[in-house]
Structure 1
Amino acid sequence: MTTTLITGANKGLGFETARQLVAAGHTVYLGCRDAGRGRAAAESVGGHFIELDVTSDASVTAAAERIRAEAGRLDVLVNNAGISGAFASPADVTAGSLQEVYDVNVFGTVRMIHAFLPLLRESSGAIVNVSSGMGSITITSDPARGESALHSVVYSSSKSAVNMLTTQYAKAFPELRINAVDPGYTNTEFNGNRGTQTVEEGAEVIVATAMAGADGPSGTYKDRSGTLPW
């Protein structure tokens, strides 16, 4: 049985990823900060709620200890938890703006990988880092792409950092499969339900990457249509 942990899993892409992976036969732990919402989400898909705040070292450590005690293994870690922060004018961006977003999107990813790395290495497992096309320097610099017209200093730079973390961890741990994915502009609360694709479509690349076998790729960045430029 494949054991999977998904952060930020009580709604949106995390929840849909959990639903699809449970349906595919995974034992799924839904990591959520809010116990009430987390338990309800887990019960609705047949998964297991685990209290988890990726901004807290103590919370992440406790989650790792619980999964080792209960499941004895972790095969897939999906680092989905993320926040956008306020989309302020670049002139109004402060160091504090970055600290709040980076604590979830970047430092949260590092906390999770550091805490769960022993379990993942024991199972020769996989890490899926949920990134964004807005984290691609190539895409956001291409005048032909709509992303190039947006000035998202905080969120975009945080996802660029996630991409770099992905490549560096993938090189450091070749026994694992560590990849970044872009779900695309998905219709969720994250963007005020303005997305152009369904949550099922958005979760597609996350699920496919989580389910890739031992011979799957590592150190890649892709969306549901294929490989993306860093």
Structure 2
Amino acid sequence: MSSTPLQTTGITGGISETGIATIEVPVFVDTLAEALTVLPNLGILLPYRSRNFSQEDDGTYKVVLHFEGIAPQGPDDNQVTFELDTSMAEDPIQTHPFFDTLKTKYAWDAVKEQFAELLPDTGGQQTALSGGSQKTKKNPLFGVENWLSVGATFRKTYSALTIPSTILRGIGTIVDQPPGIAQFNIPSAAKKRNWLKLAPKIKRKGNAVEITEEYMLSGPNGWIADVYGQAQLEGGQ
């Protein structure tokens, strides 16, 4: 015989950095059918999301109800997470900002697309015994094809009651200063660099959505406007 669900002590929960609350509510019921369907009115504003249950030694069932979401007023402005993920990656040596200087100083062969193996030894003294041949030295850039360039991905994560209508606009376009990036004090030497707006991550959680906006830092000379001048989900693409 079914009976009124017995709510127990031991409720657990928490609120994430982005303001999404989770609550786990344990209740006891008599039958498997009730374990699958029981949903008492707890008087909380968070929507029901999922459950798990197990049978006890006396044949009853312990059901743990999972509630998740945000309050109607939404999270406050402080419940936003900012992340700057920096890294180093190998890029072709031709993309180095001082490549014009390097290719002259270290004898770049445009046909072979590599630096020469040897360089003239301008510090050596030429004598009559040397037969007039020019002394050479090993080129330190011979065999070098790449250089290490700093990169970064900037993320802004927050929660909202609805998906912003502008969230998918401007994807694949250049942004000078993503919102919130100023707090990371990027050196002024990077003034030629800019950012590319990437596709966001959007996840529904109860009555809320958790959104992560992402921006990728350019190389030393910035993203090229002729390539990234138009949003990829707009303008007929």
Q: TM-score over 0.5 for the alignment? A: no
Higher helix share: 1
TM (norm. structure 2) is: 0.23
Higher strand share: 2
